[in-house]
Chains A and B, each alone.
Chain A
Amino acid sequence: MDERVHLNFERPIIELEKKISDMKDFSVGEDIELSGEIASMEKKLAKLRQEIYSSLTRWQKVQLSRHPRRPYTLDYIRMMSQGFIELHGDRCFADDKALVGGFAYIDGQPVMFVGQQKGRDTKEKLFRNFGMAHPEGYRKALRLFQLAEKYDIPIVVLVDTPGAFPGIGAEERGQAEAIARNIREMSRIRVPIVIVIIGEGASGGALGIGVGDRVLMMEYAWYSVISPEGCAAILWRDAAKAPDAAEALKPTSDDLVALGIIDEVIKEPSSGAHNDPTVAANTVKQRIVETLRELMSKPIDDLLRERIEKYRHMGEFEE
Chain B
Amino acid sequence: MTWFRKDKSGLARQEKKDIPEGLWTKCQSCGEVVYSRKMEELLWVCPNCDFHFRISSQKYIDLLLDDGALEQFDTTISSKDPLKFKDSKRYPDRIKQAQQKTGKVEGVTSGLGTIDGIPVSFAIMNFEFIGGSMGSVVGEKVARAIDRSIEREIPLVIVSCSGGARMQEGILSLMQMAKTSALLAILAEKKIPYISILTNPTTAGVMASYASLGDVILAEPKALLGFAGPRVIQQTIGEDLPEGFQSSEFFLEKGFVDRIVHRKELRDTVSRLLKFMWRR
Contact = CB atoms under 8 A, between A and B. Distances in A.
A187 B178 contact: yes
A171 B208 contact: no
B236 A180 contact: no
B176 to A, nearest CB: 6
A303 interface: no
Contacts of B49: none
A180 B225 CA distance: 14
B101 to A, nearest CB: 18
B23 interface: no
A190 to B, nearest CB: 12
A316 B79 CA distance: 7
B256 A317 contact: no
Interface string A177-204: 1011101110110000000000000011
Interface in A148-196: 164-168, 170-177, 179-181, 183-185, 187-188
A177 B256 contact: yes
A171 B136 CA distance: 27
A261 B171 contact: yes
A177 B206 CA distance: 11
A311 to B, nearest CB: 4
B121 interface: no
Interface residues of A, number: 56
Interface string B80-91: 101101111000
Contact of B233 (A171, A179, A187, A248): A171
A116 to B, nearest CB: 16
A131 interface: no
Interface stretch (B12-20, B40-48, B181-189, B258-266): B181-189
B178 A211 contact: yes
Q: Which of A179, A188, A316 has the most CB of B within 10 A?
A: A316
A240 interface: no
B161 interface: no
Contacts of A171: 226-228, 233, 245-246
Given A180-B177, A311-B178, 19 more contacts: A164-B228, A165-B236, A171-B227, A174-B212, A175-B228, A180-B213, A188-B189, A225-B205, A230-B232, A261-B172, A307-B182, A308-B186, A311-B175, A311-B182, A314-B179, A315-B140, A315-B176, A317-B137, A319-B74
Interface of A: 164-168, 170-177, 179-181, 183-185, 187-188, 203-204, 207-208, 210-211, 223-226, 230-231, 234-236, 244-245, 248-251, 255-256, 259, 261, 307-308, 311-312, 314-319
**Ordered nearest first, which 6 A-B pairs have the shortest CB separation?**
A166-B228, A315-B136, A187-B182, A180-B212, A175-B227, A176-B227
